Chains A and B, each alone.
Chain A
Amino acid sequence: MNKGRSFKSKDLEKQFLEAYDQYAEAILRNAYLRVNSRAIAQDLTSETFVKTWQFIAGGGEVKNFKSFLYRVCNNLIIDYYRSKAKTNVSLEDVVEQSEPVQEAPYKDIDTGIAFESIKKHLDSLPHDYKQILIHRYIDELDIVEIKEITGKSMTNIYTIIHRGLKMLREKINESHT
């Protein structure tokens, strides 16, 4: 099988595995924060990388692995929610449920707010807001990268970040008064 592999394909493999080492953890975390289930997040992460490799192996060119991987993961998450809305697969009625954040008892020293509570507030935001805030402050992507991934305009992204932070502040204030 490997006999026919050219220098170019070995190079592609190397680049792909380097991208894996660099971004897999962030992709997994992103997926977990957005679907609220470790098992599903793991599944989405593995599919993200398998599909990325299939694209490369089929002759596709990836210029920026970081935004490409996030985009694939994003599409898979959208598909996941769509298929969840339709429901019913072969091993029926196996319902994945939202898991509590494992780090729940941990309370951050700087903010004094528990992980569970932060996550709850984030989950209560509209879907777009949650996605963009995660990309901006947890994945630490810049606005241009978020634009590439989401397809939204930069002005729109700035507005969502501003409003999202405001909503989050209000929600945290409410729950702590």
Chain B
Amino acid sequence: MCGMKRKIKPKLILKELKKISSDENFLKFLREGLVNYIKTNPAVNYEKESFQKAPFRIRMAPVALFGIIAVLSGAGTVAASQNSLPGEALYNIKLLSEKARVAVILNPKTKADLRFALVQKRIDEAKKFLEKAKIEQTARQQQELDLSAAVDNFNENLSGVYGWADNLKKKGNFEDAIQVNSDLKTAASVYQQILEQNLDGDIYEKTSEINKSMAIVDEWKNKTKREIEDINQKESSGARLTGFENSAQNKINAASRKVETIEKIFQKKKDNLDSQVQQLSRQKIEDTKQILENAQSDYNSGNYEKAFEKSQDLIKNLSGTKAFFEISPEINYDSLKNLWNEDKGSGDNGENIKIERAKNSGKSGEKTKPQENNQDDKQENN
């Protein structure tokens, strides 16, 4: 500053990083969360030496946390409750222990992942429960009460994931938000389907609450779609100026990862699928690969904007597919077709894909009418 060269002292400079502000609110919330966690998972004085040498190195994935908590918590009650179903004595302990797990995780993404895992768990549980319920007609009242709690829990987790999607949107990650939202909708409709097919009376009424969740998700989705169109337009024009090449390549990579994932899942599940569904899926994978190739050749010829848009549309069109294949107990032709024909994201993506398919098959007039309103019709009928 005064013309003199200042002598650099790295130690002193490094110490300056200590001044980075700490997030006091986070630390306060985490402390409260830990106090609750300790209460639900108290220390047990193990007599046996072998228990004291518990394995230490643990993975970070929240999925692993499930197992660890189940093994280490309480005097084994929580662990024993993990396989319980509605109507069984330990079912409510299971729901409580899950709540404690969710409460102690503060990072929104990890929390949303865990919530989504719990949503899937409720679906698996419902399937098992209903199979069992057909055999045992006893303890009906308790089963109904617990199932009602399970539906509440499902809704609670859905709104938690929904909150995360909304946060993503607020941060500007519109595509990710839509993706989360599509997975969410798929999960909700699968759960609803399972319950509706197997229940009647008061419990059947309970499924209307899932309808409400789905209506909120739908409303949010339509609003976000409009917003994403604006953002996409701005993005496209802004990206033309700088860095479009990189954005396009990143988008192509993301789309390619997506197609790979879908293909892997299909390969894994194909033996359980009927021939019509297999054919539809194969066709879809071929179509998407073709679009991906076109996007890459656009990129190679310097048409980055087009490459970007094609890849983006592809990603949007495939959103929800992974969740659908993983969660859905029965994958039928119509529901799969609906999923892929459903208008997602900026609106023209499904159309792009169909146009590409028509071009490839040489039937320029071929057009499959998207069955966009099927879901709504179904809800109205209910």
Contact = CB atoms under 8 A, between A and B. Distances in A.
A153 B191 CA distance: 56
B226 to A, nearest CB: 22
Interface stretch (B57-65, B358-366, B374-382): B57-65
B23 A38 contact: yes
Nearest to B18: A138
A61 B8 CA distance: 44
A123 to B, nearest CB: 11
A65 B72 CA distance: 20
Contacts, number: 210
Given A55-B56, A89-B113, A138 B30 contact: no
A161 to B, nearest CB: 9
B30 A111 contact: no
B337 interface: no
A24 B41 contact: no
Contacts of B73: 57
A40 B43 contact: no
Contacts of B180: 91, 94
Nearest to A113: B13
Contacts of B44: 9, 57-59
Interface in B222-252: none
The prevalent SS among residues of A at the interface is: helix
Interface in B292-351: 315, 322
A56 interface: yes
B42 A115 contact: no
Contacts of A24: 27, 30-31
A13 B10 contact: no
Chain B: interface residue count, which band?
Answer: 35 or more
B43 A92 contact: no
A35 B11 CA distance: 21
B36 to A, nearest CB: 11
Interface residues of A, number: 77
A91 B31 contact: no
Interface of A: 1-2, 4-6, 8-9, 12-13, 16-17, 20-21, 24-25, 28-29, 32-33, 38-40, 42-47, 49-51, 53-61, 75-76, 79-80, 83, 87-94, 96, 101-103, 106, 108, 110-113, 115, 118-119, 122, 133-134, 137-138, 165, 168-169, 172-173, 176
9 contacts: A2-B39, A42-B23, A56-B43, A59-B43, A80-B60, A88-B261, A91-B116, A93-B254, A172-B13
Interface of B: 1, 6, 8-23, 26-27, 30-31, 33-35, 37-46, 51-54, 56-61, 65, 68-69, 72-75, 104-110, 112-113, 116-117, 168, 173, 175-176, 179-180, 183, 254, 257-258, 261, 315, 322
